[in-house]
Each structure stands twice: as structure tokens, then as C-alpha cells.
Amino acid sequence: MRDGDLHAYVDGQLDPARRIEVEAWLTEDVEAARRVQAYRDQAEALHALFDSVLIEQAPAEINALQSKLAARLPTNDNHIPWFQAHWLRAAAMVALVTAAGVGGWYGRDGMGGRSVATGSGSHLPVLVAFAEEAANAHNFYANSRFEVEMGADDQDALNGWLSERLGRPVFGPELTSAGFRLIGGRSLPTDTGVGVLYMYESDRGERLTLFVGAPQTGESAAVSYVQRNDIGLLYWAEGSLSYALAGRFKREQLTRFAQAVYQSLKDEPAKRRKSNDPASGGKAQPPAMPPSGTGVPRPSAPSEQIQPSSGDNKPKPS
């Protein structure tokens, strides 16, 4: 057994026949097996260290160059098949979440204080506060009778209204690929400014919320994971908007949903640009009164607004 075979085995660069031989050998050579494990751990930790780059928005200059380059290159590249086209980002998301368990640079036991990453910039405390609001909002509204102010029957109207509240265009991402349908949304006054909460539901009645706001984070920030009691959150900032995806899910599940969010955020603006400009009026008119529960009729909804019953870190109902 050569040293090169061991590395090629770790790196998945052996042909199948040789791989079987190496595997047989590894069952007998404890030290070699230990090395294989160590090298795999190294690779995993490298991903944990650096994969956050993959889902950070690239600078505009790089995006512009990318477009120009795509137009100039001869097209007969050794292209990745279409079904692998998004492997890289998907891999990044998976690795990030793995990192939450393996590398552990994220806070694990709550979002307040020192348990949360206080990392690479002054914007992070704001983003952490934003995530805190998102967790509270999920906790409070996911099982509330007043889960939404406005239903998703007319998504253009919903998006238009919430865009108006937020002061910039926003929309509820399409998450059917992740098994969730949008049931509505609401706006919330929070300590980090107006926030918009989109509520999703799976066929099994599980709730997922996407909280969108425009806190002054200063810059984009990579996806972070935190857990607050049994609610998991993935949150990040991109452009002027910050996002927090929350639900009672395992990290891996949440990551899968975040991929769908990310994909939709990436795909949708172009589609919607024409039809959903809140400044241009049209269908996207805010309702005079937020129609509580519209489109999501709930039996015997009480007529009074729910007030936060205790604690001061619950979001104020708008």
C-alpha cells in the first residue's frame, strides 16, 4: 500500500477496484485508518473554517466580471451536468450546518451575550439582536391565532403591503421545493426597526417563519446558526436586508429550507421586477386595515388582539 493510495482514498480519487483493496487494508492497519480519519477531519474542519465565503454575496465588481466572462468564454467547457450545478452552494450550506456541530463557532445555548459569535465586524451585534427578534417573533406567532395579519391568497398584495411597511421591496420566497407553502405575513415593530414576518406551513402543520428586516448591519454577513430553546435559527445579511429563518427543526432540515430560501431570493427578483414594484402602485396596495387572519380562517378566533403576556422581549404586535 502506497502513501499516495491513502490520500487518493481520502480524496475520492481512486478507481473502484483499488478503493475496495484500500478499504480491506484499512480494516487491518489501525494506524492507517487513524490517518484516514484525521485527514477527513481536517477536510471537514477546513470547510467549517471557510465555507461561509460561499454564501456571502460577491462584490458587484466580481459579479460584473462574471457576466462578461460568461459571455466571452467558448461554451464547450467541461461543464458540470445540470443536476450538479448547484452542488457547491448546497455543499456550503450543509458544511456550515455541520460546522455548527463539529466546529462549533456558533453560539449553541442562546443568542444573548457571549454565547453568540461576536465575530468579524461591528454589524454583528445588530444582526444578533435582529435574530433575537426573529426568534421571539417565531415563538410568539407560529402558534398564535393571529399568526398572520394578511393571508397569502394574493401574494402580490401581501408582498406589496409588506414592502410598503418595510420601506423597500421584499417578497415571500417560494419554498414549495422544501415542502412549505406561504400562508401569510405580518409586520412587526422591533428594536432593530420594522420587521416583516412570513409564515410558512408544511403539509404536516409544521411552521417555518422567515423574518426579514433592514437593520443597520453595515454589510453582508455569512449564515450563522443559533438555537433558542427548541427553535433553530439560521440568519444572515445580504445587501441591505437581513434574514432569519426559524422553526422547530434540526439544523440539517433548517439548512435545506435555507437553501430553498436562498435559491428563491436569487431567482425571484428578476421575475418580479416588472410586476411588484411597490412604488408603482398597481396591485400592490396596502390594505387600509391589516386584515387579521385573512386567507387563513381559524375557527373561533377571539376578536381582541393578543398582547404579550409576560416578559419584555416579545415582539410588540403591530
Partner 1 sequence: MDGVVSSLRADLENHIASLRRYARALLRNSSDADDLVQETLSRALSRADKFAAGTNLRAWLFAIMHNIYVNQVRRLAGRPGESSIDEEGMENRLSEAARQESRIELRDLSRALDAIPEEQRQVLLLVALEGLKYDEVAQVLGVPIGTVMSRLSRAREAVRQKLSGNGAGSVLRRVK
Contact set with partner 1 (CB under 8 A): 3-4, 7-8, 11, 13, 34-35, 37-39, 41-51, 53-54, 56, 58-59, 61-62, 65-66, 68-70, 72-82, 85-89, 92, 101-109, 114-121
By the 10 Å C-beta count (0-12 exposed, 13-18 middle, 19+ buried), 291 is classed as middle
Which residue number, 130 or 141, has a Cβ lying nearer to partner 1?
130
Q: In what order do the strands lie in the sheet with 150-151?
A: 150-151, 180-190, 193-202, 207-213, 241-247, 231-238, 221-228
Residue placing its CB nearer to partner 1 in the complex, 25 or 317: 25
CB atoms within 10 A of CB 189: 14
Query: Nearest distance from residue 290's CB to partner 1, in Å?
Result: 39
- By beta-carbon proximity to partner 1, the closer residue of 63 and 275 is 63
Nearer to partner 1, 20 or 80 (CB): 80
Note whether 134 and 254 are within 8 A (CB).
Answer: no
276, 160 in Cβ contact below 8 A? yes
C-alpha cell at 101: 456541530
For the CB of residue 23, give the shortest distance to partner 1 in the complex, in Å: 19
CB of 96 to partner 1, least distance (A): 12
Helices assigned H by DSSP within 198-315: 251-272
H or E stretch including 199?
strand 193-202
Q: What is the nearest approach in angstroms of partner 1 to the Cβ of residue 236?
A: 14
**Which is nearer to partner 1, 65 or 301 (by Cβ)?**
65
Least separation in angstroms between residue 111's CB and partner 1 is 12
